[in-house]
């Protein structure tokens, strides 16, 4: 999946350069970067026991289809999973690679994943019709009425979050965690945070969450690695994580501190601001659709190969 993504960006870069040769480079629009008063969630992975109650609560709140295996089935944790169009959040289990000096390394780490609700989201920047927006409260939300199904957001997301309803013949949509936007706007909690019996997630203002994360690290020497994931990655995210393991060993991509959307934005502005011929746009969108189809097939193939080999972990 990674290879196809990198390959796609190479093609995209070449295409962007070709477009740029014929037109002036447009100025990128500034996206609203929310203040530290915006909302977020701090996930303390050291507290999670992998009960999957958060997955179930999310499924119910969003009226998603029932999974093939019940939420009580914990053997699913043995295989690394990703979010998809029927699961906006998944919990994965990671066994320690080395028993080191940290006291918590004798147990597996459970990690709940969902959309990170980035401060400067690539998906928002990539969407050419404004179907994805970054809200003042920190949530990144999707408007199905505006979406044209190009799936560019899927390519752009550095966390590979947005999923597409490939199996739905009529009006398929992009699907991802909504941050329980309506509930949060009304002063409520995200369903996953509300239900968690271990209080793994703390919901609140980002500035308070960062203080809490620092307090936890200072007052529990040896328990956490010295890193708040999401504080700086891709320009910061509304969801923040603490862990006892280096993040790259528990399913998190190692990402730069710079927000990545500018390449995609430059291309869009070249296309629209300078009235590039529609044929260029359709060729471009066709390429994106082929690429996302290729990624989906690539993932299927990888899963098949992994299952034939009897691997425990899906390659990402
Ligand atoms: S409900 Fe809480 S403890 Fe259970 S899997 Fe989700 S985050 Fe972990
Ligand atoms: S994690 Fe991906 S889908 Fe979520 S806001 Fe960031 S770029 Fe968008
Ligand atoms: S915030 Fe809401 S939509 Fe997102 S994972 Fe939690 S319950 Fe699901």
pLDDT digits (tens, 9 = 90+) for 303-312: 443 444 344 4
Distance in angstroms (rounded) separating the CA atoms of residues 214 and 271: 44
Q: What is the pLDDT, as a whole number, of residue 169?
A: 85
Beta bridge partners of 240: 42
CA 76 to chain centre: 20
Where does residue 116 rank: exposed (0-12), middle (13-18), buried (19+ CB within 10 A)?
buried
Is 56 close to ligand 3, i.e. is its CB under 6 Å away? no
| 188 and 18 Cβ atoms separated by less than 8 Å | no
Banded pLDDT at 161 (limits 50, 70, 90):
very high
Residue of 169, 154, 193, 173 lying closest to 290 (CA atoms): 154
Please say whether the beta carbons of 275 and 175 come within 8 A: no
Pocket test for ligand 2, best of 43, 153, 154, 161 (most atoms within 8 A of CB): 161
Residue 99: its pLDDT value, please? 52
Q: How many other CB atoms are found less than 10 A from the CB of residue 141?
A: 19
User: Residues 69-115: pLDDT tens digits?
Assistant: 999 999 999 999 999 999 999 999 998 766 555 555 668 999 999 99
Q: What is the pLDDT of residue 264?
A: 56
How many angstroms is it from 187 CA to the middle of ligand 1? 22
50 lines ligand 1 (CB under 6 A): yes
User: Closest ligand to 126 CA?
Assistant: 2
Instruction: Pick 163 or 107 by higher pLDDT.
Output: 163
Whole-angstrom CA distances from 140 to 40, 210, 228 are 11, 20, 21
Length of the chain: 316
Between these two residues, 113 and 1, which has the higher pLDDT value? 113
| The predicted structure's pLDDT at residue 202 | 98
pLDDT of residue 70: 96
Structure confidence at residue 227 as a pLDDT band (50, 70, 90): very high
pLDDT at 35: 73
CB-facing half-sphere around the CA of 91: CA atoms within 13 A: 29
Within a 10 A sphere around the Cβ of 145, how many other Cβ atoms? Answer: 7
Q: According to the model, what pLDDT value does residue 258 have?
A: 86
pLDDT > 60? residue 146: yes
Nearest protein Cα to ligand 1, atom 2? 196
For atom 8 of ligand 3, which residue has the closest CA?
Answer: 58
Residue-range domain boundaries for the chain: 32-260
Atom in ligand 1 nearest the alpha carbon of residue 49: 3
56-65, pLDDT tens digit by residue?
A: 999 999 999 9
Residue 192 phi, psi (nearest 5): -65, -40
Q: At a CB cut-off of 8 Å and minimum separation 6, what does 10 contact? A: none
Predicted local confidence at residue 283, as pLDDT: 55
**Rounded distance from Cα 117 to ligand 2 centre (Å):** 5
State the chain's mean pLDDT as an integer: 80
pLDDT tens-digit profile of 246-280? Answer: 999 999 999 999 887 555 555 555 555 444 444 44
Query: Strand 174-175 and strand 163-164: pairing?
Result: antiparallel
Say if residue 12's pLDDT is above 60. Answer: no
Ligand 2 center from residue 123 Cα (angstroms): 6
- Does ligand 3 come within 6 angstroms of the Cβ of 239? no
Is the pLDDT higher at 69 or at 314?
A: 69
* 68-103 burial: b if 16+ Cβ within 10 Å, else e: eeebeeeebbeebbbbbbbbbbbbbbbebeeeeeee
- Residue 237, Ramachandran bin (φ over 0: left; ψ between -120 and 50: alpha; else beta): beta
pLDDT at 187: 93
pLDDT for 309 equals: 38
Residue-level pLDDT at 71 = 98
Bridge partners (DSSP) of residue 109 are: 94
State mean pLDDT over 25-36.
52
Give residue 287's pLDDT.
Answer: 56
Percent of the chain scoring above 90 in pLDDT: 63
- For residue 70, report the distance from its CA to the centre of ligand 1, in Å: 15
What is the pLDDT averaged over residues 164-184?
Answer: 94
CATH number of this structure's domain 32-260: 3.30.70.20
191 close to ligand 3 (CB < 6 Angstrom): yes
Q: Is the CB of 192 under 6 A from ligand 3?
A: yes
Query: Does 48 contact ligand 1 (Cβ within 6 A)?
Result: yes
- The DSSP code sequence of 67-134 is PSS-TT--GGGGS----BTTBS-EEEEE--SS--SSGGGGSPEEEEE----BSS-HHHHH-TT--EEE
Tokens coding 34: 């929310």
Specify the range with the lowest mean pLDDT, choosing from 32-46, 112-126, 181-195, 279-293: 279-293
Residue 191 near ligand 1, beta carbon < 6 Å = no
Give the atom of ligand 3 at the shortest distance from the alpha carbon of 112: 5
Distances (CA, A) of 14 to 28, 51, 281: 19, 46, 15
């Amino acid at each position: 999946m990674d290879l196809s993504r990198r390959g796609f960006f190479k093609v995209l870069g070449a295409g962007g350069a070709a477009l740029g040769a014929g037109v002036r480079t447009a100025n990128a629009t500034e996206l609203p970067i929310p203040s530290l008063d915006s909302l977020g969630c701090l996930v303390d992975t050291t507290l999670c026991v992998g009960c999957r109650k958060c997955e179930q609560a999310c499924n119910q709140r969003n009226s998603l289809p029932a999974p093939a295996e019940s939420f009580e089935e914990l053997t699913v944790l043995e295989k690394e999973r990703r979010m998809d169009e029927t699961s906006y959040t998944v919990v994965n289990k990671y066994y320690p690679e080395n028993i080191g000096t940290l006291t918590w390394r004798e147990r597996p780490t459970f990690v709940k994943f969902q959309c990170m609700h980035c401060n400067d989201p690539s998906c928002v920047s990539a969407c050419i019709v404004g179907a994805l927006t970054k809200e003042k409260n920190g949530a990144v939300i999707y408007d199905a009425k505006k979406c044209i199904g190009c799936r560019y957001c899927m390519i752009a997301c550095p966390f590979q979050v947005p999923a597409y309803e490939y199996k739905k013949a009529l009006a398929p949509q992009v699907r991802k965690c909504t941050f329980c936007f309506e509930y949060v706007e009304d002063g409520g909690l995200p369903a996953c945070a509300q239900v968690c019996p271990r209080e793994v997630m703390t919901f609140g203002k980002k500035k308070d969450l960062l203080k809490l994360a620092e307090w936890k690290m200072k007052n529990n020497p040896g328990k956490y690695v010295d890193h708040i994931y999401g504080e700086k990655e891709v320009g910061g995210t509304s969801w923040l994580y603490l862990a006892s393991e280096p993040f790259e060993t528990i399913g998190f991509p190692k990402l730069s501190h710079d927000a990545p959307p500018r390449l995609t934005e430059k291309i869009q502005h070249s296309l629209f601001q300078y009235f590039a011929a529609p044929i260029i746009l359709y060729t471009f969108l066709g390429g994106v659709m082929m690429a996302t189809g290729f990624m989906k097939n690539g993932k299927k193939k990888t899963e098949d190969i992994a299952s034939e080999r009897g691997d425990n972990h899906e390659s990402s």
